[in-house]
Amino acid sequence: MRVLVTGGAGFIGSNLCGRLLNEGHEVLCLDNFYTGSKNNIEEFKNNAAFEAIRRDISEPFNIEADFIINLACPASVPHYQKDPLKTMKDNVYGIFNVMENARRLKIPVLHTSTSEVYGSPSVHPQPENYNGNVNPVSIRSCYDEGKRAAETVMFDYHRQYGTDIKVIRVFNTYGPKMLENDGRVVSNFIVQALRGEDLTVYGDGKQTRSFCYVSDLIDGIMLFIEDKSGFTGPVNMGNNYEFTIADFAKLVLSITGSKSKIKFIELPKDDPIQRNPDLTLAKKTLGYNPKVSIEEGLKKTVEYFKKVVKR
């Protein structure tokens, strides 16, 4: 297929571009390089099946393709809060532009939504039929509500125009090609440990997260692309092995061999206390099953950061 990957120079997008190319697809990577990196797609520049297009998802576009995968939006807290109105535009204007292009071509769209649509959940672990607990006016709302609105647009295009849609709710994902200034907990801890700095843990560190190695997420995306059953989702994807943040910090210290200390700082407003995917639907419908252990994935990610972090 000729696959258009919006946000294709980002962390997940560039890993996905590599997988698609390896499987014989032609890839069009659309990115404005706001958080995406040219370094992430440097390895593809001499591949005749790859093309990078510098464009902003919030502006209309007309690109010929057989399939669209939408990943375009700043995804880490510091990046999406830096310009919250732009984040909302990327989510809402962006999904309209994606869906109009898909409607014109009569092609499928796979959209990566987020576990943030569940907000600070009162149900644990989070199944897809849980509607969430989201504050619509917090500093996180540009992302949380933007992603919720994008899901609404997807399903309305499906109902009104019959557009073929697939919606994934992505839980915390990590791995090579993350930015060292990303602001996510995995990259923060690894970079701090490698530099010998204190690992900053918000609150008392008892809040939980589950961490999925990027290749496991890509496996799930590929399974969903190949699924011809008409299943639309939304479907959770991630790893359901749950950690407290404090225990995760200790694991990073162990794997890096760092002598850094753990420093506890104030918990940000509306930071979720628990986050863990119920993967029952993904396993039943798509045969999805993450394989990479947290120790194995962290070792690979640490090796990547050893090459790129300035110390």
DSSP notation for 145-209: HHHHHHHHHHHHHHHHH---EEEEEE--EE-TT--TT---HHHHHHHHHHHTPPEEEETTS--EE
The reply to whether 143 belongs to the active site is yes
Q: Which of 34, 80, 143, 174 is catalytic?
A: 143
Q: Return the closest-CA partner of residue 70 out of 182, 224, 282, 281.
A: 224
Say what the pLDDT of residue 79 is.
82
Say what the pLDDT of residue 267 is.
78
In a domain, 204, yes or no: no
pTM of the model: 0.94
Say what the pLDDT of residue 197 is.
94
In a domain, 305, yes or no: no
Say what the pLDDT of residue 288 is.
98
Number of domains in the chain: 1
In a domain, 82, yes or no: yes
Tell me: the pLDDT tens digits for 39-71?
999 999 999 999 999 999 999 999 999 999 999
Q: Which residues of the chain have pLDDT under 70?
A: 270, 311
- 127: left (phi > 0), else alpha (psi -120 to 50), else beta? beta
In a domain, 282, yes or no: yes
Beta strand 67-70 pairing with 109-114: parallel
In a domain, 59, yes or no: yes
Spatial separation of the C-alpha atoms in residues 172 and 100, rounded to whole Å: 29
| Residue 212, strand partner residues | 173
In a domain, 311, yes or no: no
In a domain, 167, yes or no: yes
Those residues whose C-beta lies under 8 Å from the C-beta of residue 242, and which sit 6 or more positions away, are: 125, 208, 209, 210, 276
The enclosing domain of 120 has a CATH number of: 3.40.50.720
Domain that holds residue 158: 2-174+213-238+276-290
In a domain, 253, yes or no: no
Spatial separation of the C-alpha atoms in residues 120 and 124, rounded to whole Å: 10
**32, containing H or E segment:** none
